[in-house]
Structure 1
């Protein structure tokens, strides 16, 4: 009996020693002695790395978690649709489009995967459902380009799911994180097309895997989402949000080199960030690093796009892990420019603020502009293109007498010249007659043009086709 007790005590001692060693190892890793300069640089790099996460989390929180938010769309794991073509009264988000309806699906895959069913869609109607994870990476697509028009039933699974693909599932999409966003867009040909589109999107369906299989649901994993606070997210407290999101994913092997440094300022899966336990001079250095990181993102944002004919093409700032790996500043600048940007193969977008002489576009004092596409040189697309007018600095639509916010290959009455060319008229005053068909109304002040090209042909994203200059 005495021997058994001694063995038990020895085992307990070993266990306590092991726990102590593990705790000490973790403490050593996270509290390694670093200089203030090192802390600042690590914080700068960590903030840049985390910035897309912070922005996606903010959007998820206000749209799907905080029911008191004016931007709340509805419950998580359910489809919600924006079924109105936006006009000049819409001011909720910048740079809206006037071409599609939107569908929103915020996903929490912690408890089990979701099954998404999309109906067959006519081949002349472009649609896409973009899937982006909490890290700001586009991990896959459903739509005209990616899966075709026949419709299908798809399973979306998080990192911990180890199940077999059930019968009736056409494709499985795997995400590195349990928190993801599915953003749908579907072409709408004016208000008269509303009923046709509603027949389609009302058939979009999402359900838990257990419901799809007719089985009992697994025990739900409750998540305590921290309230989003913009001040905290742009201070040393961003680490609290970062650690929260790390708790729900595994560090990708390609990112381990970053986290080997980040842990030195308490960034690690399982960590709780407590400012009171950090030396004041180190905390101050972290705050300085966050400020420098934010400034670096804003500065990089100015050159995110590649300039072609004085248009900016930002197609390289969005994509999957393979495309965006180690491009942390570019990825952050892309998120700052506009969240949920598509892969360039799905949509290639250009923004124009300069004329052919590199002067700011501005229709004050009766200034007028034209854009001329030579014969056969309109954007080469598989779906459609549109050019949208935005007033600056708001980056919103403008009220105008013909209620036209964009002009496109679908604009009724648009006129090509006898030589096959197409000229668009960008001005405040109605040019009158048949020219009105090719008129995109502009504000009497500075503005930006957004050229959206959905499901582009390779010539566009390979740089073989570029938009013509905007001429005064």
Structure 2
């Protein structure tokens, strides 16, 4: 019998016959209710304050980490060292910065950097629209990703999305009401500061001089200066981050400062409102009224928040033959832990149609990859892509490329001397010492300690996207 009908009959029985209905106490015995039985003691209140701060602190961390991370990154990437290393892509605010050589183990700016492309970086403060001009690259792979400060990839400019002919793309800030000249492609963005993150393909062993000349043909300038041949970007800088304190809560101070420049998106207003209970509002972060229990909860949240972000791999990534295969890196939606994870160790990651990044940290026996063992990856065929593919090894600790005696940091579709069988299959030995055997030429050096691998697939074909391509198993060589 439906509950509403049962209660209606009970009410009628009470009025007409003087009968009764089951009391709340009886129902509580049937369905235990911890809140009804919990005493409002000081002990319960203290425990509740700690738990509430912990839960909301975790949510604030995974939600706000990308914004804090990006505010840190844009300051790092606009601080240009002197002398500037050839692998560096740092540049002053509102200017393009190009790496002049491929990443090596000595390049420390970018965790999990590729060894396939020359990187581009530009932090753009949009006081007005800015015009990005791209040259004709003659079908050479390149991409410029437009990230907002929540590390959300809002636009692609490049071979897959817009082709490789020359073009002009205008970054338009929120609220701008002007009219663009004809022939310019409008790219609306959701934050007033954006990060451009680009890649330009380098073939194995090719002369970089023509690529350096091609890089110079990419330009960035304000719309008002588009037709000014004498334009030179003036010196500008970003305000410093909040001064560090010794209470362990600086993350929330940085988040509060970042929110003042990057208002909370409308979709997140309800979530953000919960953080006021521990002093985080649009006006700033005020820890002065925190009870000791609340501070303890927040400190515990900051310790566990990174683990929650890393756990996104378990729910957001598919497991394909032992590889973690995450998708949706350009459409996070409300998956805040995944957005936090990608903005950290996988900063600048792209959506699966542009590139796939299967990651492998365990062998076929489920054990952590380590230089204490030898491994063999057996490809039945080369990955089907419309651009190129590569396999790269990284130190597990610092997520950097592995120094090795042959200076080989990746192996891929353009590796010279790659040994392939007549049927298209091949094997890649991954180990510390130089291997013997028929596939010795395919050696990918490993570090002595724990490591992981990323198989990059640029412009993967449908066979990859739909899961029909079988990724190679990682066998332990006894």
Identify the TM-score tier after normalising by the shorter chain: 0.7 to 0.9
Residue in 1 aligned with 2:444?
A: 440
User: Which residue in 1 is equivalent to 2:90?
Assistant: 73
Q: 1:423 aligns with which of 409, 422, 427?
A: 427
Among candidates 129, 132, 135, match of residue 116 of structure 1: 132
**Alignment check: 8 A CA contact 1:131 1:181 kept:** yes
Verify the 8 A CA contact 2:242 2:257 in the aligned structure 1.
no
The answer for the alignment partner of 1:60 in structure 2 is: 74
In the alignment, is residue 368 of structure 1 matched against residue 374 of structure 2?
yes
1:118 Cα offset (Å) = 0.4
Using the TM superposition, give the Cα deviation of residue 440 of structure 1 relative to its aligned residue in structure 2, in angstroms: 1.8
**2:473 is paired with a residue of what secondary structure?**
coil
Aligned to 2:323: 311
Matched residue SS, 1:456: coil
1:186-205 CA-partner distances (Å, limit 9, x unpaired): 11113433012112111110
Gaps of at least 5 residues in structure 1 are: 1-33
Q: Deviations over 1:214-258 (max 9, x none)?
A: 69x9xx9x98623266778x9434333223322234443322221
CA distance in 2, matches of 1:381, 1:51: 33
- Structure 1 residue corresponding to 2:249, chosen from 211, 233, 236: 236
Please list, as runs of the form range in 1=range in 2, the aligned pairs for 1:38-437 lying within 5 A after superposition: 38-64=52-78, 73-109=90-126, 111-123=127-139, 125-169=140-184, 171-212=185-226, 225-227=239-241, 235-269=248-282, 271-278=283-290, 282-300=294-312, 305-316=317-328, 318-319=329-330, 323-364=331-372, 367-374=373-380, 377-431=381-435, 435-437=439-441
In 2: Cα distance, 1:306 partner to 1:112 partner: 42
> C-alpha deviations, 1:386-444, integer Å up to 9, x for none?
01122443433334343222111101121221233222222334345863432222344
Residues 226 and 66 of structure 1: is their aligned pair in 2 closer, same or farther, counting only changes over 3 Å? farther
TM-score scaled to structure 2, two decimals? 0.79
- Deviation digits for residues 112-138 of structure 1 (CA, Å, limit 9, x no counterpart): 111100001111x21011111111111
Deviations 1:251-276 (Å, cap 9, x if unpaired)?
4332222123234444343x133333
Q: SS at the partner of 1:135? A: coil
Residue 162 of structure 1, CA deviation: 1.7
In structure 2, do the counterparts of structure 1 residues 397 and 296 end up closer, same or farther at CA, with 3 Å as the change threshold? closer
Q: What is the aligned counterpart of 2:466 among 458, 462, 468?
A: 462
Name the CA shift for 1:466/1:253 in 2 (closer, same or farther; >3 Å). farther
SS at match of 1:344: coil
Q: Is the contact between residue 76 and residue 106 of structure 1 (CA under 8 Å) also seen in structure 2?
A: yes
Name the SS for the 1:193 alignment partner: coil
Deviation of the 1:454 alpha carbon:
1.0
Extract unaligned runs of 5+ from structure 2. Answer: 1-47
Quote how far apart the aligned CAs of 1:450 are. Answer: 1.7
Question: How many equivalent pairs are there?
Answer: 422
Q: Are the equivalent residues in 1 in contact too, given 2:242–2:253 (CA < 8 A)?
A: no
| 1:259 alignment partner, SS class | helix
> Contact between 2:392 and 2:454, CA under 8 Å: does it hold in 1?
yes
Normalised by the length of structure 1, the TM-score is 0.80
Instruction: Measure the CA separation in 1 of the matches of 2:82 and 2:210.
Output: 33
Separation of aligned partners in 1, 2:422 and 2:113: 34
CA distance in 2 between counterparts of 1:396 and 1:290 reads 25
Contact 2:95/2:220 (<8 A) preserved: yes
Range with greater deviation from structure 2 (147-156 or 279-288): 279-288
In the TM superposition, what is the alpha-carbon distance from 1:339 to its structure 2 partner? 1.4
